[in-house]
Amino acid sequence: QLQLQESGPGLVKPSETLSLTCTVSGGSISSSSSYWGWVRQPPGKGLEWIGSIYYSGSTYYNPSLKSRVTISVDTSKNQFSLKLSSVTAADTAVYYCARRAGGRELGPWGQGTLVTVSS
Amino acid sequence: DIQMTQSPSSLSASVGDRVTITCRASQGISNYLAWFQQKPGKAPKSLIYAASNLQGGVPSKFSGSGSGTDFTLTISSLQPEDIATYYCQQYKSYPLTFGGGTKVEIK
C-alpha cells in the first residue's frame, strides 16, 4: 500500500526558506504516469495546491507561488522535496504531500505537517 | 485558472437527513472532479472521482453527479460520523484548484 510521509522543520523564521521532504513507501516514485505534489492548508482555511513533479523532473507550479517555489525529486531515496523561499506569516500552514496518478485526482495523501513562520 | 465555487459554506442538518453540496466550475471541466472529506486534524480523504465514481471502501450513502460546470455531492442519510468539511477539486488542468469547502454539522 502506497504511503507518503512529510518531514522537516516545524518552525521557520520570516524571510527564510521553508524546506520539506516527502518520503514515499510501498511503491516507486519512478512509477510511470505518477506526479508527486504538495498542497497546503492555513489554519482554519481551505486547501491550496502548490505544485507537482514527475520523476523525470518535469514540474507544474501554482502561478500564485511560482516565483518562490522549487520542487525537486530524488529517485534514489524515493523522496521529493519542497522549498518555499522568503516566507512570511501567511505561509503558516499544514503542508501535505500527495500523489496524482494517471491524470487523476490527488491521492493518497501524507498525514500533513504543520509549519509555523515566526521569529 | 479554473475557479471552483462551493455552496453552502456550512450547513446544519439532522441525523438521517439527505444532504446536498454543490460545486460550480468557472469553465467546463467535463467530469474531472473529485470530492474529499476532511475531519479535524486529518488529511483529506477521497470519496468520489470522475464526478460520480465512488472510491473503494467509501459507503454507498455518498454519491456524486454532474458534468461540465455543475456538480453535486449527496449524503443520503446523514450520520454523526459524516461530520466533516467537504471539498471539491478539479483536475482538468493545472493549476489544480479546490472549492472553498462545506462544513457539515449535526443539528
Secondary structure (DSSP) of A27-87: S-TT-TTEEEEEEEE-TTS--EEEEEEETTS-EEE-TTTTTTEEEEEETTTTEEEEEE-S-
Main-chain phi, psi angles of B82, to 5 degrees: -90, 0
Rounded CA gap, B53 and B63, in Å? 8
Q: Select from A47, A63, A111 the Cβ nearest to the Cβ of B98.
A: A47
Rounded to the nearest angstrom, the minimum Cα separation between B31 and chain A is: 11
What confidence score (pLDDT) does residue A33 get?
84
DSSP character for B42? S
Which residue out of A48, A61, A105 would a mutagenesis test of the B interface target, given it has the greatest number of B Cβ atoms within 10 Å?
A105
Rounded CA gap, A91 and B79, in Å? 35
* CA distance to A8, A23, A72, B31, per residue, from A89 (Å): 17, 26, 24, 36
Q: How many CB pairs under 8 A join A and B?
A: 55
Residue A62 has pLDDT above 90, yes or no: yes
Tens of pLDDT along chain B (107 residues) come to 999 999 999 999 999 999 999 999 999 999 999 999 999 999 999 999 999 999 999 999 999 999 999 999 999 999 999 999 999 999 999 999 999 999 999 99
For CA atoms B13, B19, B24, B25, the dihedral sign is positive
Q: Residues A69-88: pLDDT tens digits?
A: 999 999 999 999 999 999 99
Rounded CA gap, A110 and B42, in Å? 10
Kindly determine whether residue A46 and residue B89, on different chains, have CB atoms separated by under 8 Å: no
Which residue out of A47, A71, A94 would a mutagenesis test of the B interface target, given it has the greatest number of B Cβ atoms within 10 Å?
A47
Contact residues, B window 18-57, toward A, CB-based 8 Å cutoff: 34, 36, 42-46, 49-50, 55
Rounded CA gap, B49 and B21, in Å? 15
Kindly determine whether residue A105 and residue B49, on different chains, have CB atoms separated by under 8 Å: yes
